[in-house]
Chains A and B, each alone.
Chain A
């Protein structure tokens, strides 16, 4: 008797389940973890904001196009991972097994992608990564994870060397943060420079909690290199910007890796940023892209005139566009989405993207320069909206 009752109720539940998705009003549940608190909290908004802009843009259109069979709105399920990879693992397990989300989107940063890779693999949930960059990502088993970023350290090294060469740079000073992405860049940059015959006249690494660069920069000034390459994160980028001016570093090419593409940074330094080269491959006016202007305007509207982070927010939005287009082709069947991501070519604000294995195989690593207060893509040349110019004297 009990068993029969149980079977009957199971059947009913099953039928309800079948009925469920066909109701047009049901939103698509997409889950992700966000670093709201902890070490990466300051970076978190650049990701979350882009997700929110994408959600609004999609929902304003009437929702996600589900494989050509009508539209469904997007609903987010998000939790704070406290910048802790293990917490991110738990969140994705919860999203998938207990919240029963339809799809998942990426968490913040390289380490979290590594952490959750086994989870999405195990549950066969496709995930388009963003904000993760490391050559080690290529060791992730191809299958359910793809990485949108063009900023792989080996590609960056190649492009950086090419750019320096095109500018006739003969000597460089290198400074870098000990953290993963920065130091990994150096791993590839040094051999590339050596091969191109560019001399490294000064090299120094520093811990993430550095408070002063005067000593280091005084030594750099003494070497008088053609280019100064600072592989820094926002906090140390600010140190460089202030103290390089004090010490009077006047190299014609000055590269500050992470920071200048973020809005607050430009607010802090204004015209002093002119001529600084940074890591970014996008600007609202970038040609041959899909939705750049719309994204830029929607972002500014949603966040009271603040600009998106030209590096991270952009990459996050690209990953969302890819997911959106894959769903438009394959519907919500995750296996079909996977095949779609593997085979399709996507139109994004980065331009066309196609994956080869886990990696974005089209978008090249690139650099932008702040020119008259605006961010212009300056490298590689075929994508550039402007060409690299010499950094003039510091404004003030």
Chain B
């Protein structure tokens, strides 16, 4: 009963968000687009890093590679097919490089993931410069309303995927790897295989997000598409949300995106500083993220009430 109610509620919210595409102002749709984009990215990050503890500081590699595959296909295949192919190609790519990459652990993996993104960026840069294509405009992209819906779909899929994995056998395996990979293998968790699947799943959606994103920005440039700031933003949002469950990124992304919108529109000069101060405040005063802080304080108030 409770579950089906929740399901209906979720569906209703999604339908309302989707119908906004025809109603809301362009500016609002733009905010919605950013919101969904980072939800999709942060959820994908959670699948790998939140669940397995392999903190990726280079998630932009999937985003940028997806954008690159997409821009290569631009004009050759229908737009949405191009988006799907981008996801697929990057997902397969992740499967191929995942095994050696995921043998590296802890802080080594953190920097490795960053280095990987830089490596791919530079390879793309060389390749593009060789063709004198260091900047590719994307003319004739679908209107914002369509991109908004597409991004909503990705956000919903990513959230559902995270939600499902968190409650599945697969997720239990991943989380035991995070806690102690050695001990996880001892109780029969095939760590290498599970990590690899998580890595590929974690790359699939960001690749499609990247593809849709360059239709919004109207341009592909390796430096933008593989901008490390994107990776940092994803990590920030996911950690600020807290937890390894789907609710964390939702909260973290909503909080940061809305905050950024409020700040840059009203304090264009100093919003980055305020943002930075808030980040610091979070680590110091709510290290469990929004979700951790909520559950701690809510349970405390419940106790006080009782």
Binding site for B on A (CB under 8 A): 37-39, 78-80, 82, 84-86, 89-90, 93-94, 97-98, 110-111, 114-118, 134, 136, 139-140, 178-180, 183-184, 186-187, 205, 207-208
With A38-B229, A89-B218, A139-B137 known to touch, is A178 a contact of B125 (CB < 8 Å)? yes
Q: Give the complex CA separation of A253 and B216 in angstroms.
A: 43
What separation, in Å, do the CA atoms of A208 and B134 have in the docked complex?
12
A111 touches B224 (CB 8 A): yes
Q: For A136, give its contact among B125, B135, B224 (CB under 8 Å).
A: B135
Interface positions, chain B 251-270, Cβ under 8 Å from A, are 264-265, 268
Chain A nearest Cβ from B151, distance in angstroms: 12
Q: Are B134 and A178 in contact (CB under 8 A)?
A: yes
Instruction: Indicate if the CB atoms of B129 and A205 lie closer than 8 Å.
Output: yes
Q: Are A117 and B218 in contact (CB under 8 A)?
A: yes
Q: How far is the CA of A354 from the CA of B57 in the complex (A)?
A: 49
Beta-carbon contacts under 8 Å, B27-81 to A = 27, 30-31, 34
Given contact pairs A79-B264, A111-B219, A114-B137, A37 touches B132 in the complex (Cβ within 8 A): no
Chain A neighbourhood of B217, CB < 8 A: 84-86, 89, 111, 115
A-side contacts of B125, CB under 8 Å: 178, 207-208
* Distance between B146 CB and nearest chain A CB, rounded to angstroms: 13
Q: Flag whether B199 is at the interface (Cβ < 8 A).
A: no
Is B126 on the interface with A (CB-CB < 8 A)? yes
Q: In the complex the two chains form, is A178's CB within 8 Å of B227's CB?
A: no
Assess whether A94 is in contact with B224, with CB atoms less than 8 Å apart.
no
Choose among A180, A184, A187 the residue with the greatest number of B CB atoms under 10 Å from its CB.
A180
Residues B135 and A97 in contact, CB atoms below 8 Å apart: no
Say yes or no: A93-B30 contact (C-beta < 8 A), given A38-B229, A86-B213: yes
Is B98's beta carbon under 8 Å from chain A? no
Q: 17 interchain pairs (CB within 8 A)?
A: A84-B224, A85-B217, A85-B224, A89-B217, A89-B218, A94-B30, A111-B135, A114-B137, A140-B137, A140-B139, A178-B125, A178-B134, A179-B134, A184-B132, A184-B135, A207-B122, A208-B223
CB distance from B264 to the nearest CB of A (A): 6
Residues of B within 8 A of A183 (CB): 129, 132, 134
Contact partner, A90, options B30, B219, B221, B268, Cβ 8 Å:
B30
- B141 at interface by CB-CB < 8 Å: yes
Does B12 sit at the interface, judged by CB under 8 A? no
**B134 contacts A184, C-beta separation under 8 Å:** yes
Chain B interface: which size bin? Answer: 20 to 34
User: 9 tightest A-B contacts by CB?
Assistant: A180-B134, A180-B135, A187-B132, A85-B217, A178-B129, A86-B217, A114-B219, A183-B129, A90-B30
A178-B126 contact given A79-B265, A117-B218, CB 8 Å threshold = yes
- Residues of A near B297 (CB, < 8 A) are none
Which chain B residue lies CB-closest to A40?
A: B223
Q: Which of A79, A90, A116 has the most CB of B within 10 A?
A: A90
B283 within 8 Å of A (CB atoms): no
Closest to A88 in B: B217
A39-B223, A111-B224, A207-B122 known; A97 vs B218 contact (CB < 8 Å): no
Question: What residue of chain B has the Cβ atom nearest to residue A207's Cβ?
Answer: B122
Report whether over half of chain A's contact residues are helix, strand or loop; otherwise say mixed: helix
Please, which residues of chain A bring their CB within 8 A of the CB of B227? 39, 84
Q: Mark B264-299, 1 if CB is under 8 A from A, else 0.
A: 110010011000000000000000000000000000
Chain B residues, Cβ within 8 Å of A89:
30, 216-218
Does B185 touch A at the CB level, under 8 Å?
Answer: no
A118 touches which one: B27, B31, B141 (CB < 8 A)?
B141
Report the minimum CB–CB distance from A40 to chain B (whole Å).
10
Q: Which residue of B26, B128, B221 is within 8 Å of A111 (Cβ)?
A: B221
B3-35 interface (Cβ within 8 A of A): 25-27, 30-31, 34
User: When chains A and B are docked, how far (Å) is the Cα of A80 from the Cα of B136?
Assistant: 23
Query: A134-B135, A186-B132 given. 6 additional CB < 8 A pairs?
Result: A79-B264, A89-B216, A94-B30, A178-B126, A180-B135, A183-B129
For residue A168, give the distance in angstroms from its CB to the closest CB of chain B: 29
- When distances are taken between beta carbons in the complex, the residues of chain A under 8 Å from B271 are 80
Find chain A residues with CB under 8 A from B135 CB: 110-111, 114, 134, 136, 180, 184
- In the bound complex, how far is the Cα of B218 from the Cα of A207, in angstroms? 24
Residues of A within 8 A of B31 (CB): 90
**When chains A and B are docked, how far (Å) is the Cα of A110 from the Cα of B268?**
23
Contact B218 A114 (CB under 8 A): yes
Of the listed residues A93, A97, A110, A187, the one surrounded by the most CB atoms of chain B closer than 10 A to its CB is A93
Residues of B near A98 (CB, < 8 A) are 25, 27
Q: A93 near B26 (CB under 8 angstroms)? A: yes
| CB-contact partner of B27 in A39, A93, A116, A208, under 8 A | A93
What B residues does A179 contact at CB under 8 A?
Answer: 129, 134, 223
With the chains together, A84 CA to B223 CA distance in Å?
A: 10
Distance of A80 Cα from B217 Cα, bound (Å): 16
Out of B126, B221, B268, name the residue touching A80 (CB < 8 Å): B268
Which chain A residue has the least Cβ–Cβ distance from B218? A115
- Which chain B positions have C-beta within 8 A of A111? 135, 217, 219, 221, 224
Q: Which residues of B contact A208 (CB under 8 A)?
A: 125, 223
Measured CB to CB, the closest approach of chain B to A44, in angstroms, equals 13
